[in-house]
Amino acid sequence: MNRLLKNTKRWLPGAIISVGLAAIILNAVDLPSTIDAIRSADYSLLLVAVTLNVVWLLVRGMVWRTLLQDQASYRDVFVTLGEGYLMNNFLPFRLGEVGRAFLLSRKSKMSFTEIIPTIVVERVFDLAISAAILVGVVPFVSDAAGTDRIGFVVGGIVLAGLGALYLLTRNQAWAMKTFESLSARWPKLQQLGGNLVESVFAGLSVLTDGWLFIRFLFWMLANWIIAIFQYYFIVAAFFPQATLVWGMFGLGAAAFGGAVPSLPGALGTLEAAIGGALNLLSGDWSTALAVALTVRLFNYVFSGVVGIYGLSNEGQTLSGIYQQLMNFRNKGTMRESGGG
C-alpha cells in the first residue's frame, strides 16, 4: 500500500498536467478541421521528413556512442537507443533513460553507473541547444512576448549545471574527499556511494577530453540541424507559408514540452507545446494540432520499429522490462550491474 501511494505521488502530478492540457486543447480546436488538415497535407514533404527522421536516429546513435567512448558496438547502442525511446513513450516515470542504461550494461562491458552519466550529459546539452534555438528565433516570431525570458532562464540554468559538472570533473580529488568527509558516519553509504561517484566521473570525462568533446559536439550539432529540417518539412506539409523559423520554433517548444511532467510519451504536453508555438505563428489551432499529432506518430513509429525489434530479439517485453527496472530501483541497485 505504501509503495502504491508513493508511486501515485510520483505519477499523479504529470497525469493532472497531461489531462488538463488535453482538455484545453480539445476545447480550443475544431476536430473536423484537424482531420481535414491531415487529409490535405503535402505527403511528399512528409516523406522527406520520414527520411530525415531515419537519418536523425542513425546520427543520434553516433552521439551516444561517442559519449560512451566507443566502448559498445554501434549496433548495440542504436538498438538500445530505440528501446529507450520506446520505453519513454509507453512506460511511466521516464524510465526510458534508466532503461537504456540498464539494457546496454547487459550487452556491453560497461556498467550501469558508467553509462548513466553519458545520458545525463546528452540531456543537458539537448536542453542547452533547444534553449539556444528558442532564444535565437524569438525575435523573428510575432506575438510571442515572454517566451525569450523562459528560454534565457532555462538556458542559464542548464549552462550553470553544465559548468558545475565540468568543475566537479576537473576537481575529482576534492569532490571525492568532500564526499568521504560528509558520508563518514555511514560506512555502507560511503562504500557504495564512492563507487558510484567514481563511475560518474569516468562517464563525465567527455567534458575534459578535448578531442572527445569535439567529436561529441560535432555529432550533437549535426543531429540538431537534421531535426530542424525535419520539423520544417513536417510543418511545411501543413502550412505552405512556413519558413525555417517555424520549424525551429516548433522544435524548441517541443523540447521544452517533453521536459514538463506528464503521462508517458509527453502526452498532452507535446501537443500543447508544438500546437501552442504554431498557433502563435499561424492563428490556426486546429492545423497546429495536426502537426503535433504527426510528430507524435513519427515518434511512435520509429522508436517502435527499432525498439520492438531490439526487445523481441532479446526475448523482452515492455511489461517485463518495467518489472525488472522496478526491482532494480527498489533494491537500490546503483552499483555496477556488469556487462557481458
Each residue's pLDDT tens digit, 271-305:
999 999 999 899 999 999 999 999 999 989 988 89
Q: Which helix (H) or strand (E) holds 8?
A: helix 2-28
Within-domain flag for 163: yes
Q: What domain range is 77 assigned to?
A: 40-330
C-alpha cell belonging to residue 75:
549496433
Within-domain flag for 51: yes
* Residue-level pLDDT at 92: 78
Write b or e for each residue in 90-117: b if 16 or more Cβ atoms lie within 10 A of its Cβ, otherwise e.
Answer: bbbbbbbbbbbbbbbbebbebbbbbbbb
* Residue-level pLDDT at 294: 96
Within-domain flag for 60: yes
Within-domain flag for 31: no
Within-domain flag for 12: no
Residue ranges in the chain modelled with pLDDT below 50: 1, 4-5, 144, 333-340
- Looking at the DSSP assignment, which residues form a beta bridge with residue 263? 267
Within-domain flag for 35: no
Give the number of domains in the chain.
1
Within-domain flag for 22: no
* Residue-level pLDDT at 123: 85
The pairs formed by 126-129 with CB atoms below 8 angstroms and a separation of 24 or more are: 126/255, 127/154, 127/155, 127/158, 127/255, 127/259, 128/155, 128/158, 128/159, 128/162, 129/220, 129/221, 129/224
Cβ atoms of residues 93 and 325 within 8 Å:
no
Within-domain flag for 14: no
* Residue-level pLDDT at 116: 86
